[in-house]
Every structure is written in C-alpha cells, then in structure tokens.
Amino acid sequence: MARPPRNQALDLSEPIDLTAGVIERLACPPGKQQAFLRDSKAPGLRVRVTANGAKSFVFEAKLDRQTIRRTIGDVRAWRIDAARAEAFRLRVAMDGGDDPRVLARQREEAKAAAAMQAVKEAVTVGDAWKLYLQARKPKWGVRHYADHEKLAQEGGKAVTRGTRGTGKTKPGPLHPLLSLKLSDLTPSEIEAWAAQQGQERQTYGRLAWRCLKAFITWCSEESDYKAIVMMDAAKTRKTRDAFGKAGKKKDVLLKEQLPAWFAAVHALPSPTLAAYLQTLLLIGSRRGELLALRWTDIDERWRGITIRDKVEGERQIPLTPYVWQLLSALPRVNQYVFASPVKEKAHLSDPNGGMTDACTAAGLEGLTIHGLRRSFKSLTEWLEIPAGVVAQIMGHKPSATAEKHYTVRPLDLLRVHHERIEAWILEQAGVKFAPPRATAEAQPEPTKI
C-alpha cells in the first residue's frame, strides 16, 4: 500500500497506529484551536495539535462520568513507545479509582516538601541565631541584646585590654556551635561543648547555656524549625553537671567597714569615679542603670531621679541630699552624668579598676561593684525599713499581692525613708555632711483661673 502524501489530511474520527510519519502529517483543521488524533494501540493515548502547530502526547479517559485529560509531553521529547507505556500506566491507575491529576499533584507536593525539608535541615545554628536575635530585639533591652551578641562573637578582634595578654578578643562561648546544622544540635554535641566550656569559663559558660536553652525553646515554637530541632537537647544531666551550680555571692560591706571604704573612695584620683561608687552604694541601683544616667534624668525641682529599669522600663527614686551634692559637683561634659574621660560622647565604661583600687586600699579584697547593691539592701536591715520600700528603690519586682496591686508609694513617701537610709550610712561611715536647709519647699505653681 502506497504511503499517503504528506499534504493529505488525516481522518481524526478514527483511531490510527501512531508513527513518526503520521504525527508529522497531523495538522489542526482550519477554524479550530486544537484537534486530537487517537492511537489505535494504546487506549486513551492522543496526539494533540494546536492551531499554531504545537504537538504533544495526551492521555484522555473518563472517571466518574467526567473526562480526565492529562498532558504527557511534547512529541519531540517523548518516543511513541514511551508515551504508550505512560498511557497504560495512567489507565491502570484509573482502573484502581485514582485520579491521575490528583496523583501528579501529590507527587509535586511531596517533591516540594522534600526540597523544603532539605533546605530547613541545611539551616545552621548561626542562621537561626541571627533570626532569633532579630525576633527578640523589640522585647529586650539594649544591654541584654548586646550580651547575646557577645555570647556568639567570632573573636580575634585586636584590643588593648581584657584579653589576658593575647591582644585579641576570645570567641564567645556559643561561637563553636554556630557552624553546626540546627538538626545536628543533639544532646551529645551540646554535652561535648559544655564539657569544654565548663573547664575554660564555668560562670560565663553557664550563662551561655541558659541562653542556649531559651534559643532552642524559641526554635521549637517556630514553624520553620520545630520539626528539626530537639527540644530537650540542652537539658541533659551531663550538660548540667559540666557547669555545676552557681554559688551564692556574699560580698557585702559591713557597718564597721564603711569608714575605711568611704575614705578609700574619697582618695581616688577621679572625682567622677568616686561619685559613681558612692552613689551606687547610696541608691542601690544596678551598675549599668547608674552608668547610663543622663542629666535630663535628674529633676532638681522635685528632687527625683529617673532610672532606666530593666524590669519595669523606668522607675523614679528620690534625689537625696548627699547624692545631689556629689552629682552637682561633676562637670557637665556630655549628656551623661558620669562622663567618660576618654570618649567624647560616652559614659564611664569600666569602673572596676577604681573599685578594685579602693577596696585594696581599704583592705576589703573581694568586694565587687554588684556587692555595693547587695550592701545597700543589707544595711537597711539595721533601720528596719519596710521591705517594699527598699525593693521599690532598688527596682526589684514586688513579691506579694498587696505590694503588686494595692501599695502605691509616691516619691515624697520614698524620700522619707531614703533620706533616713542615706543619713545613717554617712553617720556610720564618719562622713560629715550637713544637708542644706531649703529656703522654701518645692511647690507646684498656682493654678490660674
């Protein structure tokens, strides 16, 4: 039988044995957008041709009285026998009650999920740590955020002090973990890390461990990480034992030690540092809160100080007479009360050196700057000051329901107790100070009618 000429139109109403020549002769009838040529060997296999001449293999069948049509592929990419095999496979799936379109969608979804899981599992601890800091930054104070950055710092930065002679900063305790995949943050990895950090720097490592546990908890609540992070990875007994228990610090100024300490502080060459240390003892604030004190935080008229509080945001305490004498005598170099002698627009950065010198001169080795805050609380016991008053001055959270919800102490009531505390400490220290007598009490301006 002679081969029909190429320009002869095919009969699309009847199935035909598909060959390369037949497919080549296939053309879309005039006036139609597409047409289909059925294969006589594979039921359901069609060749679709569009008006612009594009041709592809298509599978077509009925499922639940609905026509199911699925594209197999371009005729230039698929061989005829491969297209027939795919049509047979789809026919078998349909005979089992499965919709090929649903199966294809499920395969694509599974493939996409596997790819997404692979991406998630490739996330490192360092990648998640950066996102963790960004997410928590609005909830944290500046100092708390900076502490977290320092825990993960790379190290190796050239500095002049605080490096024990190396001249370069040490990596943060969490830095060795940053290169690990988040999925590899296992108990065994953390235990090995804890063993090393516990030997090199137990106290700082313990802080890093607490922050690491908080970070893992955050990851376990994030949709992108909760499936790949181990919630209890940092809570094993070996990790806990590596850091040990934090000891209670008891460095405190006794009443009998006040004269020697005040005399040593007065002898410091820096008036700013001497004023800072005395004020720290007399108001019981945290070290960083007082360092960040600005001149605008002092209200001379109403005799108050606004402290940037890490617990409540800020708190107001009385500006006692001796403290005001110390502060008013300082030069106003910049916006900070305790201005840095080195940096033009900064406050004191490291008062530890002056504190150590003063304690050495007074024979009080071991007393820390935070010990002054502890001393303020302890010394008030001699005067039987209400615990709630002391807590409010120091910025501690109320510990009882009545303190939280019912007791409101205005500034003038706090001043009664605070000035009594200051006067008693100065008396025990042998510091001669006569509070200036106010010519007139601070009064609000009369209301104009």
Which pTM value belongs to this model? 0.59
Three-state SS sequence of 78-107: CCHHHHHHHHHHHHHHHHCCCCHHHHHHHH
The answer to whether 16 and 39 are in contact (CB under 8 A) is yes
pLDDT of residue 267: 96
* Helix, strand or coil, per DSSP, at residue 241: helix
The contacts of residue 105 (CB under 8 Å, 6+ apart) are: none
Residue 150 burial (C-beta neighbours within 10 Å; 0-12, 13-18, 19+): middle
Helix pair 258-266, 271-283: axis angle to 10 deg:
150
CATH class of 255-429: mainly alpha
For residue 66, is it left (φ>0), alpha (ψ between -120 and 50) or beta? beta
Using the Cα atoms of residue 410, residue 413, residue 419 and residue 424 in order, give the sign of their dihedral.
negative
The answer to whether 268 and 358 are in contact (CB under 8 A) is yes
pLDDT in tens, the chain (449 residues): 455 566 667 888 889 999 998 999 899 999 899 999 999 999 889 999 999 999 999 998 887 777 888 899 999 999 999 999 989 988 887 776 677 777 777 777 777 676 666 666 678 999 999 999 999 999 887 878 999 999 999 887 776 555 555 667 889 999 999 999 998 899 999 999 999 999 998 989 999 999 999 999 999 999 888 888 899 999 999 999 999 887 667 789 999 999 999 999 999 999 999 999 999 999 999 998 999 999 999 999 999 999 987 666 789 999 999 999 999 999 999 999 999 988 888 999 889 999 999 999 999 988 999 999 999 999 999 999 998 899 999 988 777 665 665 567 889 999 999 999 999 999 999 999 888 765 434 444 444 43
Query: If you count them, how many residues does the chain have?
Result: 449
* Helix, strand or coil, per DSSP, at residue 110: helix
Measured CA to CA, the distance from residue 168 to residue 136 in angstroms comes to 29
The answer to whether 324 and 276 are in contact (CB under 8 A) is no
Measured CA to CA, the distance from residue 204 to residue 189 in angstroms comes to 19
Three-state SS sequence of 114-160: HHHHHHHHCCEHHHHHHHHHHHHHHHCCHHHHHHHHHHCCCCCCECC
> 402: which 2 tokens?
């009545």
Q: Could you give the count of Cα atoms lying within 13 Å of 271 in the half-sphere of its Cβ?
A: 9
Q: pLDDT tens across 58-108, in order?
A: 998 887 777 888 899 999 999 999 999 989 988 887 776 677 777 777 777
The answer to whether 347 and 292 are in contact (CB under 8 A) is yes
Domain definitions of the chain by residue range: 20-119, 125-243, 255-429
pLDDT of residue 402: 57
pLDDT of residue 151: 94
CATH number assigned to the domain covering 20-119: 3.30.160.390
Using the Cα atoms of residue 21, residue 22, residue 23 and residue 27 in order, give the sign of their dihedral.
positive
pLDDT of residue 122: 77
> 422: which 2 tokens?
């200051």
Measured CA to CA, the distance from residue 298 to residue 292 in angstroms comes to 12
pLDDT of residue 68: 82
Q: Cβ atoms within 10 A of the Cβ of 263, count?
A: 15
